[in-house]
Amino acid sequence: MKPFYVTTPIYYINAAPHIGHAYTTIAADVLARALRLSGRPVHFLTGTDEHGLKIEKAAAEAKLSPKEYADGVSSKFRALWTALDVRPDDFIRTTEPRHEETVRRAFAAMLRSGDIYKGRYSGFYCVSDETYWTEKETLAGPGGAKLCPNTDCQRPLERVEEESYFFKLSQYGPRLLKHYDAHPEFLSPASRASEMRNFVKAGLQDISVSRAKVKWGVPVPEDESHTVYVWFDALLNYLAAADSKNAALWPADVHIVGKEIYRFHAVVWPAMLMALGRELPGKVFAHGWWTVEGEKMSKSKGNFVDPLSVTKEFGVDAFRFFLFREMPFGQDGDFSIASLKRRYNADLANDLGNLLNRASDMGTRYLDGKIPEKLPGTPLIERETHVAAGAAAIAAIEKLDFGMALTVLWASVGRLNQWLNEKAPWKLAKTDPAGAAAVISELLWSLRAVGCWIAPFMPETSARIHERIGAARSKWPISPEDALPVAAGSIKKGEPLFPRKI
């Protein structure tokens, strides 16, 4: 079976990683883990975007060569993913030979086919965004200055007049529209589709794909006075990585990207693939943006949130959980320690953590720490409902509806808490010890199922739940008829999974 090929953008290495970067990558990791849980082979790619003027400048400031600088920052990203329990199958760097070779070959092929041609570029250039703008697009600044129209940038632009290579994006409009129509899932979520369609319908311009003044990049084949434009270079990472690993990987099943780079992925990238005669990815999904305490994260505000400082206080799993519990994937949301703490205390410390504590305390007290060999013949709990919730959660993750998956799972956790309060086995134990043991066993059965379903979001918590109740790691799918698989261990009392935060 062709592995499901999921990618994140490759990360710019000109800034330290922050929670926005962690968001895209953890999303891909959750998807990869959920698919694996349901038995699908998966290939998950991430990496770093290392060429361009910004890197050249950042390296010069750090008094390093661009490559030395890139090595340092790229390994920081890699280490962060390990620390956040993100487990990619491949990590590509645009400075690797496998990538540069793909870029050279693609550029040369498109030169041959006439999809790339040499022309003159005249307009304005934003060094910070590495983007060219036409005069019409610029904003008027003080003293007649032209400013970058990107609302997050608005820096002064440089006027440029130079020779450049262009990609004939203009000729791909009709084919793109046809593809969008024939593959309604390609532009996802659906709420983003009309913006892309309208952009294409308005008429596409050819885009400049080389830079004469940038030295740190892949030289244009047979014209070393130019380097390949970073975006043209970067997008090809998805293909370079696939082709270097396993010819059967392409096409990608889903590219997960943030909304600000959607146009590159939903318009430019598919047109490049068409020019190269390669298949298009199945889906290009744009997620929303995090602000922090109501503000956009930026260098000038100095309000970047380092994921490691959050996980130091709350743990990796709570952070992974929060990112998807708090805001629907695809929409924007706000990050604050106060809201994280609220979610942590309510959903994790109370709902899940307490439930596990109660179950393991009662298991040690009333079951002597052992999972009964035989569970009661008739399930005491609506196992079907819980099993259906697990299936619904995994299906929601496959649709990248991570928020829905957690909503469904936490409804199950809520029902279990309520059920336990109603059954009150601690009272029942006084009159009907067998009945109490049956209730507790049933609770353990359900907890182990919950432990299985939350694994894509919270891999460590999943393992700890199984460990505490002495159950073997669950296989997916779980059926209501399943016995509770007993591990070598026993039911143990233990530290709270999520100690309350004041």
- Interface ranges with ligand MSP (CB under 6 A): 9-12, 20-21, 23-24, 49, 234-235, 237, 257-258, 260-261, 289-290, 297
Identity of the residue, 295 or 313, whose beta carbon is nearer to ligand MSP in the bound complex? 295
Identity of the residue, 146 or 192, whose beta carbon is nearer to ligand MSP in the bound complex? 192
Identity of the residue, 255 or 448, whose beta carbon is nearer to ligand MSP in the bound complex? 255
- Taking the complex as a whole, how short is the minimal distance between the CB of residue 289 and ligand MSP, in angstroms? 4
Residue 69, φ and ψ in degrees, nearest 5: -60, -45
- Taking the complex as a whole, how short is the minimal distance between the CB of residue 388 and ligand MSP, in angstroms? 32
Identity of the residue, 24 or 138, whose beta carbon is nearer to ligand MSP in the bound complex? 24
What's the CA gap between 465 and 449, in Å, rounded? 10
Identity of the residue, 99 or 383, whose beta carbon is nearer to ligand MSP in the bound complex? 99
- Taking the complex as a whole, how short is the minimal distance between the CB of residue 1 and ligand MSP, in angstroms? 27
Q: Is the dihedral of CA 474, 364, 386, 5 positive or negative?
A: negative
Contact 144, 310 (CB under 8 A): no
Identity of the residue, 176 or 230, whose beta carbon is nearer to ligand MSP in the bound complex? 230
- Taking the complex as a whole, how short is the minimal distance between the CB of residue 255 and ligand MSP, in angstroms? 8
Q: What secondary structure, in 3-state letters, does 119-150 show?
A: EEEEEEEECCCCEEECHHHCEECHHHCEECCC
Q: Which residue's Cβ has the minimum distance to ligand MSP?
A: 258
Joined tokens for residue 30: 């959750």
- Taking the complex as a whole, how short is the minimal distance between the CB of residue 48 and ligand MSP, in angstroms? 8
Q: Is the dihedral of CA 326, 329, 331, 336 positive or negative?
A: positive
Q: Is the dihedral of CA 221, 117, 214, 51 positive or negative?
A: negative
Q: Is the dihedral of CA 417, 421, 426, 431 positive or negative?
A: negative
Identity of the residue, 83 or 380, whose beta carbon is nearer to ligand MSP in the bound complex? 83
Identity of the residue, 66 or 390, whose beta carbon is nearer to ligand MSP in the bound complex? 66
- Taking the complex as a whole, how short is the minimal distance between the CB of residue 103 and ligand MSP, in angstroms? 12
- Taking the complex as a whole, how short is the minimal distance between the CB of residue 23 and ligand MSP, in angstroms? 5
End-to-end alpha carbon distance in the chain: 49
In terms of Cα–Cα distance, which of 5, 41, 31 is closest to 405? Answer: 31
- Taking the complex as a whole, how short is the minimal distance between the CB of residue 412 and ligand MSP, in angstroms? 28
Joined tokens for residue 143: 């003293």
Contact 204, 275 (CB under 8 A): no
- Taking the complex as a whole, how short is the minimal distance between the CB of residue 95 and ligand MSP, in angstroms? 13
- Taking the complex as a whole, how short is the minimal distance between the CB of residue 195 and ligand MSP, in angstroms? 16
Q: Is the dihedral of CA 297, 301, 304, 309 positive or negative?
A: negative
Identity of the residue, 290 or 366, whose beta carbon is nearer to ligand MSP in the bound complex? 290
- Taking the complex as a whole, how short is the minimal distance between the CB of residue 68 and ligand MSP, in angstroms? 20
Identity of the residue, 73 or 440, whose beta carbon is nearer to ligand MSP in the bound complex? 73
In terms of Cα–Cα distance, which of 77, 20, 12, 86 is closest to 305? Answer: 20
The secondary structure element, H or E, covering residue 96 is: none
Residue 236, φ and ψ in degrees, nearest 5: -70, -5
Identity of the residue, 164 or 237, whose beta carbon is nearer to ligand MSP in the bound complex? 237
Angle at 266 between CA 260 and CA 268, to 5 degrees: 95
Angle at 12 between CA 81 and CA 246, to 5 degrees: 65
Annotate 395-421 with DSSP letters as a single string.
HHHHTT-HHHHHHHHHHHHHHHHHHHH
The secondary structure element, H or E, covering residue 330 is: none
Coil, helix or strand at residue 297: coil
